[in-house]
């Protein structure tokens, strides 16, 4: 397979719109009010483990994913999201893809403050969708490893190689202490994507078991309810309606309502 320009899927489309829209607002405010307006976004939207209070502000795990440092940062993330996110959304479905995407990003937003807390990294603003994007790349590479991609729109390589390059560059930058906080978020998102794909069969089996268990419980409850209704009707036949307790009358009314709804 050769990856060409894919048709954008619904969830990916909205993620692109929101990311680009937020960056446009940031740029507009920067032009109107200079750096102070952008600092406002960073102060309240980024992952910023400067204090315990800011670390515990859970909304930052979502909002930081929609803030970007510059045009190049945004462009790279959105290109990867467009190409590979659409592939995953078709495989996962829109709802599961959105959850997967945000959780990969949140993983990076959790790991970075932990490393700051134990003294391995300094506290700084963490922004960008890269954690989620790395999760998308790794998941796509695991599902479609032989898909051919034009690297830099010129060199054809497999998707597995692309994922390896992204991860290798992040590890190298982390070891060199170049954007170490951002790189740890990238790698955490990649690990989340890897674990999800590898654990997906088990997760799907668990979900199926839960559905089967719920269905069996529903059938059992219906049988018990019908048995109770039959007992009440026998009691009415032998002793009359006045012999019924308040609870038995309530069950009989519920059975009548169910029958009327089924007949509509």
The tens digit of pLDDT for each residue in 65-108 reads 999 888 888 998 998 899 889 889 998 999 999 999 999 999 99
**pLDDT over 90 (residue 262):** no
pTM for the model: 0.75
**What are 215's two structure tokens?**
């269905």
The lowest-confidence range among 34-43, 122-131, 173-182 is 34-43
pLDDT of residue 35: 63
**What is the model's pLDDT at position 261?**
73
Please report the pLDDT score of residue 2 as a whole number: 47
Beta-strand runs (E) in 21-169: 148-151, 155-158
Picking from 129, 84, 137, the residue whose alpha carbon sits closest to that of residue 109 is 129
Task: Report domain extents, the chain.
Answer: 10-208, 210-263
Domain 10-208: CATH superfamily is: Rhomboid-like (1.20.1540.10)
Query: Given a cut of 70, is residue 25 above it in pLDDT?
Result: yes
Tokens 């190409």 label which residue? 83
């Amino acid at each position: 397979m050769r990856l060409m320009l894919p048709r954008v899927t619904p969830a990916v489309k909205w993620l692109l719109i929101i990311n680009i829209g937020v960056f446009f607002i940031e740029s507009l405010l920067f032009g109107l009010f200079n750096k102070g307006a952008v600092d406002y976004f960073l102060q309240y939207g980024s992952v910023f483990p400067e204090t315990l209070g800011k670390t515990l502000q859970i909304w930052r795990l979502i909002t930081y994913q929609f803030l970007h440092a510059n045009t190049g940062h945004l462009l790279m993330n959105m290109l990867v999201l467009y190409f590979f996110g659409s592939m995953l959304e078709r495989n996962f479905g829109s709802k599961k893809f959105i959850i997967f995407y945000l959780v990969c990003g949140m993983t990076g937003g959790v790991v970075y403050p932990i490393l700051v807390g134990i003294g391995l990294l300094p506290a700084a603003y963490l922004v960008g969708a890269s954690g989620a994007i790395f999760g998308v790349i790794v998941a796509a590479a695991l599902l479609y490893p032989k898909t051919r991609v034009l690297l830099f729109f010129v060199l054809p390589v497999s998707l597995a190689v692309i994922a390896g390059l992204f991860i290798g560059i992040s590890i190298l930058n982390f070891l060199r202490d170049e954007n170490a906080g951002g790189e740890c978020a990238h790698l955490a998102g990649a690990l989340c994507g890897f674990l999800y794909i590898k654990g997906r069969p088990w997760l799907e089996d668990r979900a199926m078991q839960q559905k089967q268990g719920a269905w069996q419980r529903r059938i059992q409850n219906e049988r018990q309810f019908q048995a109770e209704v039959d007992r009440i009707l026998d009691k009415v036949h032998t002793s009359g309606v006045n012999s019924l307790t308040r609870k038995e009358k309530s069950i009989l009314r519920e059975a009548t309502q169910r029958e009327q709804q089924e007949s509509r």
